[in-house]
Homo-oligomer: A and B are copies of this chain.
């Protein structure tokens, strides 16, 4: 059967994730029994998640709540949304009603739904360059035209943002939103500072634009208790915040959310029912009980200390072994980005590090929306053990010396 003639024209916009190749190579090595040290993940450490607690929760939920195995409402399980309201107030400084929440298939699902309801082919999206690879793929396969804004060590470059907006408006383009990951940015590890948060909101207000605040890493903050969400500073309802418990419970539960209001909210809920019907009910019940019983305070905040230690180990190892290397010192999230010297290509370097030293990292290039970023690599510190972080950096340093 030749399926080609049945494919939608817009399916031309679908491309394979540029990271698939990396993931395949890691899997192939592992399948041959090779021990691979991975600084390539995008997951939390499953050993820092209280899996025995989740196991007990899942077990009692399935026994005691018959409806835990059935559909939940498309906008989300009411019990979970009520707990989430309290959680968001406490940890994101966001005051919302349960009716403002749409529970989604993780943060990924939230990004796709927003793209689907907002983007027509050719609509402009302003995005940090680099940004999360799946967000780039999501908006592009929906026809979004991505325009990158420079990212500095303290977050998005405000001057560049302003001039980029002017340029696009002058060209007569329809800017649908500004997408940012202000805290623990993926892939760089950058966190937007408070003054620039204000400036970003002012610019959005000046040009009357929407902001999508991707708060995926908001619950992995190590050094800055005073980070405020854009949404908490937003007086004009122009920030749509998307969040997830992926870094708290684990990425596989697929529980995220969109906070918005009015017709945008109603359109998304109506659109969503024939897309996924609902986020997994068992996951929503687990999230509900986890928050309600205070396990976030009891377990997750301890896990954050451990992630902080891992971050410190990574930074110390890089500092000790590669004092000349340029990289971001993350105060939140799971990643740091490093900039390789002397025009070393991050793609080639990553491949060599894997094939020769069996250390997996992710090249930064696929996260850039243009031809820049060739010399970048992304290092994850959330998933590997401290020992693996040290050994991984040692081998990375070794390979880098071979280049010199």
Residues in chain A within 8 A of chain B (CB atoms) = 1, 3-4, 6-11, 14-17, 42-44, 46-47, 49, 51-52, 54-56, 58-63, 66-72, 105-106, 108-109, 111-112, 116-120, 123, 134-135, 137-138, 141, 176-177, 210, 236-238, 249-254, 260-264, 266-267, 270-271, 273-283
Contacts and interface: CB of A to CB of B under 8 A. Distances in A.
Nearest to A175: B6
A282 B253 contact: yes
Contact of A263 (B3, B46, B276): B3
Contact of A254 (B7, B118, B238, B277): B277
Contacts of A54: 62, 69
A44 B19 CA distance: 40
Contacts of A249: 69
Contacts of A263: 3-4, 7
Given A51-B66, A55-B63, A141-B271, 13 more contacts: A3-B260, A8-B118, A11-B267, A43-B70, A43-B71, A55-B59, A58-B59, A69-B251, A69-B253, A70-B252, A106-B277, A137-B274, A254-B277
A252 B125 CA distance: 34
A274 B108 contact: yes
Nearest to A260: B3
A270 B18 CA distance: 10
A186 to B, nearest CB: 13
Copies of this chain: 2
B117 A7 contact: yes
B3 A275 contact: no
A273 B1 contact: no
Contacts of A176: 6
Nearest to A117: B11
Contact of A252 (B60, B118, B252, B280): B280
Contacts of A275: 108-109, 112, 138
A39 to B, nearest CB: 16
B46 A273 contact: no
Contacts of A8: 116-120, 123
A52 B46 contact: no
Contacts of A250: 68-70, 281
Contacts of A279: 254
B55 A271 contact: no
A172 to B, nearest CB: 15
Nearest to A72: B252
A51 B71 contact: no
Contacts of A177: 6
Q: Which of A46, A250, A277 gathers the greatest number of chain B CB atoms within 10 Å?
A: A277
Contacts of A17: 270, 273-274
Given A253-B282, A264-B3, A283-B280, A105 B108 contact: no
B137 A273 contact: yes
A111 B275 CA distance: 8
Given A52-B63, A56-B59, A238-B1, A70 B251 contact: yes
Nearest to A273: B17
Contacts of A52: 62-63
Contacts of A274: 17, 108, 111-112, 134-135, 137-138, 141
